Amino acid sequence: MPKNLIVGQSGGCTAVINATLAGVVDEALGESGIDGIYGMLNGVQGLLEGQVVDLRAEAAATLTGLRSTPSAALGSCRFKPDPEQLERLLALLRRLEVRCFLYAGGNDSADTSARLERLARERGYELFVIGLPKTIDNDLPFTDHCPGYGSVARYLAISALEAGLDTEAMHRFDPVKIIEVMGRDAGWLAASSALGKRTDEDAPHLIYFPEHRLAVDRFVEDVQGVYDRLGYVVAVVPERITDPSGNVVARSTEPTFVDAFGHAYFDSPAAYLAQEVSGRLGLRARFDKPGTLQRMSISLASRTDLDEAYMAGRAGVRDALTGESGSMVTLVREPDPEYRCTTGLAPLAEVANNVKLMPREFVNAEANFVTEAFVKYATPLIGDPLPRYARLAKHTVPIE
C-alpha cells in the first residue's frame, strides 16, 4: 500500500541542507511505495500551523536547482513542541496519512523526532521516523562527520588565509586580528580554519576551542609571542569559550538570549579579547565575525559535502521504506586509503541532546592549535584543493 511522506528542515541553515532535501525528493519520486510527497514549511512549527506543501507539484528544474541552493528552501525553525503540541503533530500526520516522517536537523531536531516516534508507537500509529543529519558544528555523535561541516570548514580555511594576508600587509597599522567563528560547545569549526595553513607565516597562528578553558592572560601572552616572531597575529576563537573559573570570556557573563532548548548566547568573546590585547599590549586589534555568512556560502561549498548531503537524503527514504524508524542517517568513513563515505544508522534517542567534542588528539598540548591528526581527518571533507597564494621573496635593493 503506498505511503505518504513528509520532510522538514530545522535548526540553523547550511549551504547543503537543500541538497539533502533534493535527495529525499528524488528518491521518493522513484519509489512506487510512496504516494504523496509533502514538505513542512518552517519545520514542525509550521506543520502545527497547517503549513504543508506538495513537493510533487514542483518543477523538475526547481528540484534539481536545490542541489546548489544554500539556506533552507522549506524554511526552518528552532522550536521544541510540548507534549500537547506533540499530540497535535501526530494527529495532523494521521490526517495527512503520512507514514514516513523525515526531519533534517541537529541535536535538538533529533530530540523532537525521537519524541514523535515514541509517541506514535505508544498511540499505535505506524510512523517511520528518520532523522537526517544537519549541523555545521559537526557535533552529532555516531556519525563520522555531518553534512554542512565540510562547506563551512572550506569557507573558514580560505577566509583565515585571506584574513592573514590582509593582516600581514597592514601589520604596521593593525597587527592583530581575531576571528570569531560559530561553535558553542565543540571546536570543530575553529579547528577547520587551519586547513589552508602551509607555512608559519600563513594564518591562523592561534586557535582556541570551547573544550579547553582559556585564561585571558594566557591569550594575551600567546598573541605577544606570535607578534614578537612575525610582527602580526591572526587568532581564531569560538563564539563561546570559558575561563579557568568556568565563566564565559566576554564583557558580561550574563547571556543575551536563551532559546527554547536552553542554549545560552553571550556577548562576543572576540570583541572582548581584542579590547584586552589593545589595552595590555598597546597593539591595535581588530575582530571579524563572519556570522551566518560562514554557513551560507554556496560559492565556497565543498563538492564532497554537497554530494554526501544528497546521499544522506536518499538513504533516509530507503531506510524508512524498509521499516526503519527512530534512527538517524549517519556518514560512515570507509577504511580505504582513498577517502570514501557510505551511510549507516544510529538511534535518534541517543543522538538527541548529546554533543561530540573534539578528541584530545586533535588539539596540541598547549590547546592553542590543531594537530596533524585533525588535518588528516578533516581535509577530505572540504573537497577540492584549497588555493595557494603567492608570497613575494622580497629581495631588497640597496639604496646607498
Do 160 and 118 have their domain in common? no
Q: Looking at residue 107, which CATH number applies to its domain?
A: 3.40.50.450
Do 229 and 334 have their domain in common? no
Do 183 and 194 have their domain in common? yes
Run of H or E residues at 331: strand 327-333
The domain tally of the chain equals 2
Residue tagged active-site, from 82, 108, 111, 137 = 137
Run of H or E residues at 176: strand 176-181
SS3 387: coil
Beta bridge partners of 248: 242
CA distance 329 to 348: 9
Do 347 and 256 have their domain in common? no
CA distance 297 to 293: 6
Classify residue 276 by burial, with Cβ atoms within 10 Å: 0-12, 13-18, 19+. Answer: middle
Q: Is 144 a catalytic residue?
A: no
Do 130 and 163 have their domain in common? no
Average pLDDT per 10 consecutive residues for the chain, totaling 400 residues: 90 97 98 97 98 98 98 96 98 98 96 97 98 97 98 98 98 97 96 98 98 97 98 97 94 74 81 97 97 95 98 98 97 94 97 95 98 98 97 93
SS3 131: strand
Between the alpha carbon of residue 256 and those of residues 13, 303, 378, the distances in Å are 21, 36, 33
Cβ-based neighbours of 83, under 8 Å, separated by 6 or more: none
Do 211 and 343 have their domain in common? no
**Residue 287: domain span:** 152-298+357-382
Q: Are 296 and 13 spatial neighbours (Cβ–Cβ below 8 Å)?
A: yes
Run of H or E residues at 311: helix 303-321
Computed on alpha carbons and rounded to an integer, the radius of gyration of the chain in Å comes to 23
Do 193 and 332 have their domain in common? no
Q: Is residue 387 part of a domain?
A: no
Predicted pLDDT at 1 = 58
Between the alpha carbon of residue 98 and those of residues 23, 35, 37, the distances in Å are 19, 10, 9
pLDDT in tens, 244-271: 999 999 887 777 777 767 777 778 999 9
Q: Are 29 and 56 spatial neighbours (Cβ–Cβ below 8 Å)?
A: yes
Q: Are 53 and 63 spatial neighbours (Cβ–Cβ below 8 Å)?
A: no
Short-list 132, 70, 122, CA closest to 324: 132
Other C-beta atoms closer than 10 Å to the C-beta of 343 total 18
